Amino acid sequence: MLALYKIEEFARLMVIYSIGILFSIFSICIPILKDILKRKDVFTVKDRSSYESRLYTECSDFVQHKTLTLEGKFFHYVEVGDVSKPLILFLHGFPQFWYSWRFQLQGLQDMGYHLVAVDMRGAGGSYKPREAHNYNANLLLTDIRDIIQKLSPNGRAACVVGHDWGSIIAWQAAAQSWEWDQYQDQSGYIDRLIILNGCHMVIFNQNFRSRLTDFIHLYRNLKSLISNPISTLALSWQKFRPCIDQFFGSFYVFIFNLPNPIGESWFLLRDVEIYDKLSRSIPKEMMNEEDINFYKAIFCADNYASLIGGINYYRSNAMNGFFKEQERRGIKQPGFIGIPTLVIWGDKDPTMNKDLCLSNMGKLVSNLKIEHIPEANHFIQEECPDKVNNLIRTFITSQGNYHDLDENIES
C-alpha cells in the first residue's frame, strides 16, 4: 500500500504537469506555429562565446574574482572590501548570476564590510550538476552555510541579501540559522537578512489558502449570493483576484516543472528573447545591449549548463524543502525568523503578487521592516540601484533591532 505522502506527491505532480502542458500549448506551440508560418527563425541561438570569459573578468576595476572549493564542489564569487571585516553575502536569482549585484558591490564598497556575490550552485562559474536531485533545499542551504563559514572571520554573515531564488533560499537559511541559535547545540550563521522581491513560501502558501478558502466560503453562502449577488460576486473577485494574478504570473513555473528539454527549449526561443523582455523595465544605462548579450552568453555556455541548473531549482524541493522538514520535526512555527529583516519590494513585479507575498508576514518574521519602491519591477537591484543601496546601507549600519528605527512596521 502506497504511503499517503507518496499519493499526495503523485497527485501534485500530475496537477503541475497538466497545467504545464496547458501553458506550453499556449505559450510555446501556438506562438511557434505562428512564427513558422511567418517564416521566422525561432530556434537559432546566436554564438556569443566571445562573452563567456567576461564571467571571470567583468568589473575587475573594483572587484576581485575568486573560487572556493567545498567538499570537491567549486564556487566562483566576486568580492570587494577587507576580508577580515564582517561578511555581507549576496545571493542572485534566476536567470541571473553574480553580475546582477554589480551596482551593489560598487555602490556599497565604502561601508567597511566584506562584500561577496557568489554564483550559486548551478549558475555562472560555480558547480553545475545537470540532475534535479542535486538542487534540493538541504544541499543549497549547506552550500550557503559552508560559504559563510569559510569566508567570515566569525563563521557568521553580518547580513545575507537575496533576490528572487536567492531570496527563497535566504528565507530558509535564516529560518535554519534562527532555529539553531535558539534550540540546537550548534550556533546559527546569519545575523541579518535583506530580501528583494522573493517570497517566504510558508507565508505565501498560507495567504493563498486563506484567499481560496474565503472565495469558496462566499460561494457556499447561497443566502448571501441570492440576496446580494452583485456585492457577493464583487467581494469574491476581490478575495480571489490575487490568486488568479499569481497563477498567470507564474505560468513559467509550470513549464519549468516539465521534463527537460521542454522548459529549456522555451527559454531559448527566438535567440533567448526572454532576456530582451525581462530587461525592458530596466533603464538602458543600467542594462544595455552588451549586458543582455553577457547574460545570454553565460546561460548558453557549456552546453546550457547554467540554464539547466537554474531550471532544476523549480524541479526540486528547493522552494520550501527546509520548511517542510521543520513541519515533519514538529517545529511549532515552521519558517519563523527572529533576526532583523528588511524586505525591499518593487510594487510593479508581474511575477509575484504583493498581497500573497507580503500580507501577514509579521506573524512569522517578528523583527520586520518592509520598504516599497512603487515604480520598480522584479529586477529591483538593477532597476533602482541607488534606492536599493541606500536602504541596504541604512539597515546594515543601524544598531539593535530594526523596530527601533521606525514604528511603521508592516505585518
* Domains delineated in the chain: 49-202+318-404 (3.40.50.1820)
pLDDT at 343: 98
Give the per-residue pLDDT at 411: 32
In whole angstroms, what is the distance from residue 398 CA to residue 377 CA? 27
Which pLDDT belongs to residue 407? 34
Ramachandran assignment for 304, one of left (phi > 0), alpha (psi -120 to 50 degrees), beta (any other): left
Q: CA-to-CA distance for 293 and 298, rounded, in angstroms?
A: 9
pLDDT tens string, the chain, 411 residues long: the values are 445 555 556 566 566 656 656 665 666 566 666 666 665 678 889 999 999 999 999 999 999 999 999 999 999 999 999 999 999 999 999 999 999 999 999 999 999 999 999 999 999 999 999 999 999 999 999 999 999 999 999 999 999 999 999 999 999 999 999 999 998 677 999 999 999 999 999 999 999 999 888 777 766 665 566 677 777 677 777 888 898 899 888 889 988 988 888 899 999 998 999 999 999 999 999 999 999 999 999 999 999 999 999 999 999 989 999 999 999 999 999 999 999 999 999 999 999 999 999 999 999 999 999 999 999 999 999 999 999 999 999 999 986 554 433 333 333
Query: Looking at residue 365, what DSSP letter applies?
Result: B
Sequential DSSP letters for 151-206: HSTTSSEEEEEEETHHHHHHHHHHHHHHHHHHHSSS---BS-EEEES---HHHHHH
Q: Give pLDDT, residue 258.
A: 86
Give pLDDT, residue 248: 86
Question: Bridge-partner residues for 369, per DSSP?
Answer: 342
CB neighbour class for 374 (10 Å; exposed up to 12, middle 13-18, buried from 19): exposed
Please list, in sequence order, all residues whose beta carbon lies within 8 angstroms of the beta carbon of residue 346, skipping any fewer than 6 positions away.
Answer: 196, 197, 373, 375, 376, 377, 378, 379, 380, 383, 384
Copy the grid coordinates of residue 61.
Answer: 576595476
pTM recorded for the entire structure: 0.90
Cβ–Cβ under 8 Å, residues 259 and 265: no
